[in-house]
Structure 1
Amino acid sequence: MTAEDPRGTSRPLPFFVYGTLRPGEANHDLLLRGRALAEEPGHLPGAVLYDGPGYPYAVEEPGAATVRGELVTARPEAYQGLLAALDRLEEYVPGDPRSLYVRAARDVRRAAGGTVRAWVYLAAPRVAARLRATGTRIADGDWLSRR
């Protein structure tokens, strides 16, 4: 399922970030500094990563390897503002077919072990179809390795 998962909305979820929101990248300090309570490495199973124009796209692909990134837990008082800021950054508008991404609740594996439900911005269906047809896949699932 690539649409927003309503099961994840009953309580604040961490965010799984895999591109410009990772530590050391352009949007990390801009949007996460002071709003994050914790950050830890994680992996999104069943997805592949494509290089986009300046940022990556995660595309669900059952049985695929994993996408590498970070799990970011927001400070409780900053959660709603951060959620809104990330939706704007990712050009996600619920129900809008022009959205580049969809925000979906997915199980993410912690590097230290175990899984956690987290918000992930996945390529919207029309974007995912284009990427599968003509996109440049990042083989190891780690956007930072493209450098």
Structure 2
Amino acid sequence: MTLVPSLPPSLPFFVYGTLRPGEPNHDHFLRGRTRAEEPARLHGAALYDGPGYPYAVEGPGIVRGDLVTARPEEYAALLVALDRLEEYAPGDPRNLYERVEREVVREADGTPVRAWVYVAAPAVAEGLRRRGGRITTGDWRALR
């Protein structure tokens, strides 16, 4: 009997940095591959400024971003592309980010939605908490 690895659930993505509409990676990775994009927020995380991109660090705070729902026919390829962009590989201790399932809230109506979020990997998060530049507004665009 051959075991087939289980695929992760097809959840929308919560993006808060270079993948947001109007940001550089949005057009490259998301344009034409999404069914919906809407403002949302992630509770239970703080935002830190990184080297040209932000990190969400789990803990007290709110991160503002967008909930992106992929077109079904694009989902598998988009998941692979975003994992590569974020340099995420399951179980790799060198990860900069971890892809985690979290609840985010739609800005329009307050509806909670389960989504994939790329958060700072534990070692990165620890360093940011100690000496990183926290974005107090929770909105990376506020710095730009």
TM-score range, shorter chain: over 0.9
- Which protein is bigger by CA-based radius of gyration? 2
2:10 maps to amino acid? P
Q: Structure 1 CA distance, aligned partners of 2:89 and 2:44?
A: 24
Structure 1 portions without partners, runs of 5+: 1-7
How many Å apart are 1:65 and its aligned residue? 2.6
2:42 maps to amino acid? L
Q: Structure 2 CA distance, aligned partners of 1:60 and 1:110?
A: 19
Moved >6 Å (runs of 4+) = none
Structure 2 counterpart of 1:79: 75
Structure 2 counterpart of 1:20: 18
How many Å apart are 1:38 and its aligned residue? 0.3
- Which of 87, 110, 114 is residue 111 of structure 2 equivalent to? 114
Structure 2 counterpart of 1:92: 88
Structure 2 portions without partners, runs of 5+: 1-6
What secondary structure is seen at the aligned counterpart in 1 of 2:75? helix
Q: How does 1:60-71 map to 2 (within 5 A)?
A: 60-61=58-59, 64-71=60-67
RMSD of Structure 2 on Structure 1 (CA): 1.0
State the number of aligned residues.
137
Structure 1 counterpart of 2:126: 129
Q: Structure 2 CA distance, aligned partners of 1:134 and 1:84?
A: 31
- Which of 124, 139, 144 is residue 136 of structure 2 equivalent to? 139
- Percent identical among aligned pairs is 68
2:143 maps to amino acid? R
1:136 maps to amino acid? G
Structure 2 counterpart of 1:38: 36
Q: TM-score, normalised on structure 2?
A: 0.93
Cα deviation 1:104-135 (Å, max 9, x = unaligned)? 00000110221000000000000000000110
Q: Structure 1 CA distance, aligned partners of 2:62 and 2:130?
A: 20
Structure 2 counterpart of 1:3: none
2:91 maps to amino acid? G
Q: Structure 1 CA distance, aligned partners of 2:139 and 2:76?
A: 28
